[in-house]
Amino acid sequence: MQGYNFAYLDEQTKRMIRRAILKAVAIPGHQIPFASREMPLPYGWGTGGIQVTAAILGEDDTLKVIDQGADDTTNAVSIRRFFARTAGVATTTRTADASIIQTRHRIPETPLTDSQIIVYQVPMPEPLYKLEPSKQAAKRRHALAEYGDMHVKLYEDIVRFGRVAVAYDHPVMVNQRYLMSPSPIPAYDNPKLHKMAALQLFGAGREKRIYALPPYTEVKSLDFENHPFHPVRADQKCALCGAQNSYLDEIVTDNSGGRMFACSDTDFCATNSGRAA
């Protein structure tokens, strides 16, 4: 596309973001501030993820973009097309064929390899923000590893609901040191973060933070000894491909309460059906 640098951002900006990424990888789970740029879409639409992808994208990369697991929603389509135009890179919907996967709110069902990078879009990078509204105080807590609060919240959940009630964005401890928000992925996806072979990068554009999990990092969801973390999915089979271990979307089919459950990961579903067929 004329008038734009490769992948939209200028090279100096990419350098700045890569430096932030290096720092983030060096301190897993720790939030690194970066100078988030004006992007051609508003805050809250994935500007952080896009900037991270733009900074690491190369000519030989193959890009996959998903939104809530689907390649064909408006946002996923727009962002994929954006990079196709500004970088001319190959794009794909197949997880196994992608070298970079940008995602909003899900981790693909297909296990990733050590030659892949997954970039998460993050609305609120600070796991403590509900308990500690002051940014300065939150920073101090991370520095002093004062996370007792977070466990108190889980304790209160168990008291009130009999179990930990965090359905998504369940906070995790990284490397036994930093408390991290995994972004609003369903709690069901949390176990995939642990010792993943791929590099995981997290970008928050509005909040101007980048953080990372280098491959094979220890990631543990917060829980109690006798109330262990328990990933939850609907107790159903996918209506399209029959899978019993993928995260399901509940789809309303008519106005009289009819509904069906289907894999949220569209590529996984298609591949699964293909095999079954």
Please, what is the minimum distance in Å from the beta carbon of residue 172 to other proteins?
A: 15
Residue 145 interacts with other proteins (CB under 8 A): yes or no: yes
Residues from 7 through 36 that contact other proteins (CB under 8 A): none
Q: Are 268 and 249 in contact (CB under 8 A)?
A: no
Please, which residue, 159 or 252, has the CB nearer to other proteins?
159
Q: Which of 12, 74, 136, 159 binds other proteins (CB under 8 A)?
A: 159
What is the bridge-based pairing of β-strands 62-67 and 100-104?
parallel
Q: Which of 81, 156, 232, 251 binds other proteins (CB under 8 A)?
A: 156
**Nearest alpha-carbon partner for 151 in 138, 133, 170:** 170
Per DSSP, what are the bridge partners of residue 179?
173
Please, which residue, 23 or 153, has the CB nearer to other proteins?
153
Is 241 annotated in the active site?
yes
- Other CB atoms within 10 A of residue 213 CB: 28
Residue 60 interacts with other proteins (CB under 8 A): yes or no: no
Please, which residue, 74 or 226, has the CB nearer to other proteins?
226
Residue with tokens 């001319």: 88
Query: Considering 46, 69, 203, 269, which one is annotated as catalytic?
Result: 269
Q: Is 153 helix (H, G, I), strand (E, B) or coil?
A: helix
Q: Report the alpha-carbon distance of residue 17 to residue 23 in Å, rounded.
A: 10
Q: Report the alpha-carbon distance of residue 112 to residue 121 in Å, rounded.
A: 18
Please, what is the minimum distance in Å from the beta carbon of residue 160 to other proteins?
A: 8
Contacts with other proteins by CB under 8 A lie at 143-149, 151-152, 155-156, 158-159, 223-227
